[in-house]
Amino acid sequence: MLGGLKKLLLLLFLVLPVIISITDGGHMKAWAHEDEVEGEEDELSDDDEVNVDDGTGGEVETADGGEEEEEEDEEEAAAKGSPDADTVILFTKPVGTGTELPAGKLVEFLVGFTNNGDKDFILDAIDASFRYPMDFNFYIQNFTAIPYNRAVKPRQEATVMYSFYPAEAFAARPLGLTVNLAYHDADGNSFLEAVFNQTVSIVELDEGMDGETFFLYVFLLAFSVLLLVAGHHFLSSFGRKKGSKKAVVEVGTSKRDDVDYDWLPKEVLNEIKKTPRQSPRTRKAKRVASSK
């Protein structure tokens, strides 16, 4: 019985590696087949033209990729503007090249248009927008478009104005500014020319004095006055204590020895010493008695 069990285990050890190798080979073939199918799909998707059997033995050609490329070329040509027109932009508020714009303040600029061709041009509208500086296809803020519908004759010029307010939240940040001028010619061909398409910096202007600064100065002034008053009061009280003396109380001539008689003549002094000292009442009584 043990011998039969050993033979069975030996058979399993011999057959199991063969089964594993066959299974792995099948998976590898399946993966290789899937890679080939995906590669063929990628090649078909990259081709601009695809031949499709219509069931009658012929082939139908489709060129979706070519049509998309033509549409993109037309859009790029329209965005570049007409070769018979010249445009220029001038920033009037603030005056400069437009690379630094104040946050929360009015921004104005003029766009000049020159018709160098032989056909009339119609200026339709002008608009502006803030874009992401790393990718101008990403819009951050759109401003209102101003319609003009102004005709410009051949060999003539026209000027349009536009203004907007950059948000204060964009202060100290670089942004892409795009100014587009939409116009068309007498044949109906439309153009959208980017008059200005650069990265600008939104700066915060230092105004003369705002509310917070004003109240800060008022507080500092009041605090300084309070310190001056307290210092003056302290110094005056300290000076009073230091200069105060004991008040002299005059006791009069209650004692005879306290009187200075040096300034009197000797005759008068001797007479005063001989006469005894009498009170005012005694002197008065003697005067009354002598009068009677």
Q: What is the mean pLDDT of residues 219-241?
A: 84
Residue 114 has pLDDT above 90, yes or no: yes
The set of residues, in sequence order, having a beta carbon less than 8 Å from that of 119 and lying 6+ positions away, is: 84, 154, 185, 186, 187
Which of 26-30, 143-147, 216-220 shows the highest mean pLDDT?
A: 143-147
Q: How many other CB atoms sit within 10 Å of the CB of residue 99?
A: 13
Q: Give me the DSSP letters along the chain.
A: -HHHHHHHHHHHHHHHHHHHHHHHHHHHHHHHHHHHHHHHHHHHHH-S-EEEE-SSS-EEEE-HHHHHHHHHHHHHHHHH--TTEEEEEEEEETEESSSEEETTS-EEEEEEEEE-SSS-EEEEEEEEEEEETTEEEEEEEE---EEEEEEE-TT-EEEEEEEE---GGGTTEEEEEEEEEEEEETT--EEEEEEEEEEEEEE----S--HHHHHHHHHHHHHHHHHHHHHHHHHHHHHHHHH--PPPPP--S-SGGGS--TTS-HHHHHHHHHSPP--HHHHHHHHHHHH-
More confident position, 50 or 177: 177
Q: Per-domain residue ranges for the chain?
A: 85-203
d(CA 286, CA 50): 163
| Residues near 1 by beta carbon (within 8 Å), at least 6 away in sequence | none
Mean pLDDT of the chain: 75
User: Which residues on neighbouring strands pair with residue 193, listed in sequence order?
Assistant: 181
CATH architecture designation of domain 85-203: Sandwich (2.60)
pLDDT digits (tens, 9 = 90+) for 159-197: 999 999 999 899 889 999 999 999 999 999 999 999 999
pLDDT attached to residue 27: 46
Determine what percent of the chain is predicted with pLDDT higher than 70: 57
Confidence of residue 267 (pLDDT cuts 50, 70, 90): confident
Separation between Cα atoms, residue 177 and residue 191, nearest integer Å: 19
